[in-house]
Amino acid sequence: MYFCMWEFRYNLGRCSLAQLVAIPFIILLLCLGVLVSNMVTIGSPVRPGIDFAGGTAVTIPGSYEESLLMQEFSTYPLISAQSATNGWYLKFGPMSDGEFRSLVEDTQRKFPDAKIDFIGATFAQTLQAQAMLALIFSFIGMSIVVFVAFRALVPAGAVVLSAFADIAITAAIMHLVGIPLSLGTMAALLMLIGYSVDSDILLTTRILKRKGKLDEKFSGAFRTGIIMTTTTMAALLAMLLVSLAGQMEIIMEISMVLLIGLAVDIMNTWLTNAGLLKWYAIKRGER
């Protein structure tokens, strides 16, 4: 395969189906291994954040030394202390009712302007289950629409497989780089389904619906698709830089998940999906 992004040339002429899908397939298997291992060890495919694991978040306005805050809350299960533009954002793990009441009393006494948010473990588990169901039903709904639209097993299956690989690989990378599963990152995974299907349907429609030489159709689809994806990635990179500068954690995590997912989507769309479509088109007699 000759791949030159800067000149937007894309040629699958000398690549077999096995050559195209080998690397994405191996990466997918490794990432599925990570997700299965997480399910066995921690009960979730990605390490959950406070939204899904339960815990307490304390927002303390003002300027303080991190060492002072760590010392003040050393008797509680403090997970992290992050500096923000208007103060500090502290995360605590699950604790007993007595510990929570003690934390509230100590915080209100030492930092009267602090804001305390609590998510119970039971509610967090229910929220996680509902979010996972939303992701599963969204994926099932997308799969039904794709199969109805193309009415052919191989093209529709290639789109669904690529979308599944995007979600699975992105989730595994989230765990490896330490991005927790929260309401924000779950929303990013849901958005990733839309991004993935968009590029895959573009490719499939160009190859199956348009006339012309097969290599020329792949090259034209690649040019359009890569411009769309890289433009979106540039916007997400700008959002990431702004969120880093402003210490906006949730925006930072969403933009990071989408950037990872779009990078993964480039591989799955233009190797896995393209390889399956090339094999299918040749079987139909196209050249």
- The DSSP line for 197-211 is HHHHHHHHHHHHHS-
pLDDT tens column, 222-280: 888 888 899 999 999 999 998 888 777 788 999 999 999 999 999 999 888 888 888 88
Output the six-digit token pair for 234: 């540039």
Residues 127 and 174 in one domain: yes
- Rg of the chain over all Cα atoms, to the nearest angstrom: 23
Residues 95 and 193 in one domain: no
Residues 200 and 166 in one domain: yes
Residues 37 and 90 in one domain: no
Residue 5 has pLDDT above 50, yes or no: no
Check residue 3 and give its pLDDT: 43
Residues 43 and 134 in one domain: yes
Residues 145 and 268 in one domain: yes
Q: Print the domain residue range for 101.
A: 55-119
* Least confident span in 83-97, 147-161, 180-194, 233-247: 83-97
Residue 42 has pLDDT above 60, yes or no: yes
Residue 4 has pLDDT above 60, yes or no: no
Residues 84 and 108 in one domain: yes
- Of the three residues 119, 152, 169, the one that is the final residue of a domain is 119
Q: What is the mean pLDDT of residues 97-116?
A: 83
Check residue 9 and give its pLDDT: 55
- Supply the mean pLDDT for the chain: 83
Residues 16 and 132 in one domain: yes
Residues 69 and 149 in one domain: no
| Residues contacting 160, CB < 8 A, separation 6+ | 142, 143, 146, 147
First to last CA, the chain: 17
Q: What is the CATH number of the domain that holds 197?
A: 1.20.1640.10
Number of domains comprising the chain: 2
Neighbours of 54 (CB within 10 A): 21
- Of the three residues 119, 149, 174, the one that is the final residue of a domain is 119
Per-residue confidence band for 183, with pLDDT thresholds at 50, 70 and 90: confident
Check residue 266 and give its pLDDT: 92
Q: What percentage of the chain exceeds 90 in pLDDT?
A: 21
Check residue 170 and give its pLDDT: 95
Q: What is the CATH number of the domain that holds 110?
A: 3.30.70.260
- Of the three residues 70, 94, 119, the one that is the final residue of a domain is 119
Residues 136 and 103 in one domain: no
Is residue 4 in a domain?
Answer: no
Residues 36 and 137 in one domain: yes
Q: What is the mean pLDDT of residues 126-145?
A: 84
Check residue 77 and give its pLDDT: 82
Is residue 93 in a domain?
Answer: yes
Check residue 85 and give its pLDDT: 65
Is residue 247 in a domain?
Answer: yes
Please name which of 19, 30, 10 lies closest in space to residue 165, comparing C-alpha atoms. Answer: 30
Q: What is the mean pLDDT of residues 87-98?
A: 79
Is residue 160 in a domain?
Answer: yes
Residues 126 and 114 in one domain: no
Please state whether the predicted TM-score (pTM) of the whole model is above 0.85.
no
